[in-house]
Amino acid sequence: MNATMKYSFLCTGLLASLAMAGQAFAQQATPLNIGGSSAGKNFAGDVPLDLCDPASSGTTPHHYLSANQNLHVWTCKRGSSDIIIRYSATGSSDGVNKLLQSATDPASNMNFLDHTLTTGCTTVTGKTRLSDGKVYDDTTGCLDGNTVALPVHMGASDVKGSSFHQTGPVNPVPVVINPLNDGSLNSSPVVTVPFAIFVGKGVVKVDPTTGSPNGPISSLSRLEIEGIFSRSLTDWQQLGLGTVTDVAPGTLEATSPITICMRNAGSGTKATFDETVMINASEVTVNIPGAQVFGGSSSNVLSCIAGNRRAIGYMDSDQLLQFTSTLLPNGNPNPNLGLGYLVGIDGAKPYDATLSDPKRDLKCGRYPYWANWRLNRRLAGEPDGNINTLAQAFITDASSTSAIALTVSGAFWASDEEMFVSKNQDRGPLLYKTGAHNACR
C-alpha cells in the first residue's frame, strides 16, 4: 500500500470516528434550535461561544458552518452538561410561524446543519476570538445539504408580527405575507439591528462642472430611495448620478439603468424597510429579470449587489464587512471585496467610521432604518426544562452590552442600554430617553 492510499484511509477513518462521536454527543446534549432572521445569522452565530465553558476547562467549544454561511452549530460544555446550539437563517416570518406550532408538529421543524455529516467540511482549525481571547475549534464549508429537520425551540425575527404585510414577488402568482399574531408567544426584544442601503461599485457621483465621474456617493434621500424601489426612478441619471465600468472608470456610461435587489415577502429586513423607509409608496412586486431581483436571504441580496455594479439593495448593516474585509469568516479570500459600498439615508449612516462613535446616528435616532431583533418562545415553554434554561441564558447574553461588543456584529448592532431612543412599533414614532444626550449634539 502506497503512502497516498495510507493517508486516504487514515483521513476516512478519522472523519468516520469524528462523525460517530458527533452523533453520540448530539443524542446526549441539551439542544437549543433557533431559526428565522437571516439578518441575525452573524450575531446568532457568535453569541453561543459566550455560553460555552472555556477550552481551559477541558473541552474546546466547536463551531460548524455551512458553505452558504446560513447554518451554524456550536457544541460544547456548559457547567457539567453538554449543549448544542443550532441556528438556521431563513426569514423572520419563520421565527414567528414555527413557534405558533406545537414542538411535536412537523410544521415546527426547520432544516439545521447536521454537524455529524462531514461532506465538504474543512479540517478542524483552532481559532481565537480576538475580542476576548476565547479559544474554539472551527469547521467551515460544510455542504449546504448536510441538514436534519428538527423542531424550533426559539425563533428569531427582525420585527413584530404585525409588521408583516408584504407582497412579492409576483411571478406569476403573488407571494403575500399577512400580519402574524405573535401575541400568543413570549417575544423578547433583544438588541437593535440596523439595516443599510448598499449600491454596486459602479455607481458614482457626477461633477456638475465637468460632467465627469466624481467618486462614490455618500447618501441618498429617503424620497430618492422610495422612488427607486417603487420604480418611479429607473436610471441613476434621473438622480444626477451615473455609473462607470472597470474598463473605463473615468467615463460615464451613456445609460445607467438601476437593478434593485430586494427580499421576498416574509423577510424581516424587507418588513423593516417597508415600515421605516417606504412611507409614501410601495416596493415593486413584479419580478422583471435584470431590473428587479428577489432573494430569500441576505446572502442572495449580497450576491445581487456584488454581481451588478449598477445595483442597489438593502441588508443588515454588518454585511458591510463582506465588501471591506479581505478574508471571509472561514479564512478564505473574500470574492466580494470592493464590489459594493454602504450609503446613508438623508445624510445619516448606521455605521460611520469617520465619527468618534461610528454608531452615533443610530443611537441618536438620526438614522431611520432599524428595528429590534426579537427572540420568540412558546408561552408554555419546552417540555425539557434544560432547553428553557439554555434559551433564557442565550437571551440574557444577547441583550448584554458587553456581550454584544464581543461579536463581529457588535460594531454595528446596539443594546437597548446604548440607544438614546426607543420605539414600541417598528414604524415608530421614536421615543427619546430622558437625559441630555450630549453625544447627539
What's the burial of 308, exposed, middle or buried (CB within 10 Å: 0-12/13-18/19+)? buried
pTM of the model: 0.92
- If DSSP codes are grouped into helix, strand and coil, which group holds residue 384? coil
pLDDT in tens, 146-173: 999 999 999 999 999 999 999 989 988 8
Mean pLDDT over 49-55 rounds to 97
**Cell match 452573524: residue?**
42
The percentage of residues in the chain with a pLDDT greater than 70, rounded to a whole number, is 93
Q: Do 283 and 230 meet the contact criterion of CB atoms below 8 Å apart? A: yes
- If DSSP codes are grouped into helix, strand and coil, which group holds residue 111? strand
pLDDT band at 277 (very low <50, low <70, confident <90, very high): very high
One-letter amino acid at 20 equals M
One-letter amino acid at 408 equals V
Mean pLDDT over 395-423 rounds to 97
Nearest to 222 by CA among 271, 166, 279: 279
Looking at residue 301, what is its pLDDT? Answer: 97
Q: Which residue has the higher pLDDT, 66 or 6?
A: 66
pLDDT band at 209 (very low <50, low <70, confident <90, very high): very high
Residue 119 neighbours by CB distance under 10 Å: 11
Looking at residue 331, what is its pLDDT? Answer: 72
Sort strands 166-170 and 340-345 into parallel, antiparallel or unpaired: unpaired
Domains in the chain and their CATH numbers?
3-157+380-440 (no CATH), 191-363 (3.40.190.10)
Tell me the HSE value of 421 on the side-chain side, using a 13 A CA sphere: 21
DSSP state string for 240-279: T-EE--SS-TTS--S--BPEEEEEPTT-HHHHHHHHHT-S
Whether residue 169 has a cis bond before it, omega within 30° of 0 = yes
* pLDDT > 50? residue 6: no
